[in-house]
């Protein structure tokens, strides 16, 4: 038996609109649902302020067809592993308020190296909050895509593996931004330039 209300107590799989009882199958369904929704996001009327309302709207659009709690702050504690625990539920709202303040005061006119470093600090801050029970990574990628576009940049996510992102995020959570800065430096591009093309 589990105390996590998001999980089916018989299968320990997240309760979902499709009644899927297998984790791998649910992950595939998530990918399909979120992938389809992602293509339509650019035509959606999303909140224009960078903060909780935008995060919630992105998450609801990506996962609303599969989870009835999509777009809502999680009510349980979660961890990536035994060493990396995210913000407790009762502190999420305050942490989101602090993030919104940091986003609203993000300095203009930064050179690229300074932009990468400041972005890494915000990236670490949001990742540590992990406001949703599931789907945080995909939601955050869309969020940071939109944010970077405001400053004339794009993020080439295809250049980074999930394991690299996880390592960089864990290191940043422990107070060491170096790996995260390096990762973001690799994938932050001008929209008209894809560094993958340089290899050819």
pLDDT at 80: 79
Is 85's pLDDT higher than 90? no
pLDDT at residue 84 is higher than 90: no
CA neighbor of 138 nearest in space, from 66, 48, 193: 66
Give the C-alpha separation, 76 to 95, whole Å: 16
| Percent of the chain with pLDDT strictly greater than 90 | 84
Mean per-residue pLDDT for 111-132?
A: 97
Domain 23-199 carries which CATH code? 1.10.3290.10
Whether the predicted pLDDT of 95 surpasses 60 = yes
- How far apart CA 42 and CA 152 sit, in angstroms, is 17
Q: Per DSSP, what are the bridge partners of residue 182?
A: none
Half-sphere exposure of 126 (CA within 13 A, CB side): 26
Alpha helices in 89-177 (DSSP H): 92-104, 112-129, 136-149, 162-173
- This model's pTM is above 0.95: no
Token pair for 125: 């801050």
Rounded to 5 degrees, what are φ and ψ at 157? -60, -25
């Amino acid at each position: 038996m589990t105390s996590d209300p998001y999980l089916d107590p018989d299968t320990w799989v997240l309760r979902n609109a499709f009644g899927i009882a297998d984790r791998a199958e649910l992950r595939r369904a998530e990918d399909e649902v979120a992938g389809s929704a992602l293509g339509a996001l650019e035509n959606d009327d999303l909140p224009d302020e960078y903060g909780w309302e935008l995060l919630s709207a992105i998450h609801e659009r990506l996962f609303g067809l599969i989870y009835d709690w999509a777009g809502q702050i999680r009510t349980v504690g979660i961890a990536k592993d035994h060493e990396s625990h995210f913000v407790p539920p009762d502190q999420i709202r305050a942490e989101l308020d602090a993030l919104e303040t940091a986003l609203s005061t993000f300095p203009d006119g930064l050179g690229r190296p300074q932009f990468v470093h400041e972005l890494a600090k915000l990236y670490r801050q949001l990742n540590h909050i992990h406001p949703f029970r599931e789907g945080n990574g995909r939601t955050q990628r869309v969020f940071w895509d939109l944010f970077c576009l405001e400053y004339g940049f794009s993020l080439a996510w295809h250049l980074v593996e999930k394991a690299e992102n996880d390592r960089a995020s864990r290191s940043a959570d422990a107070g060491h931004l170096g790996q995260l800065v390096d990762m973001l430096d690799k994938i932050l591009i001008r929209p008209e330039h894809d560094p993958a093309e340089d290899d050819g």
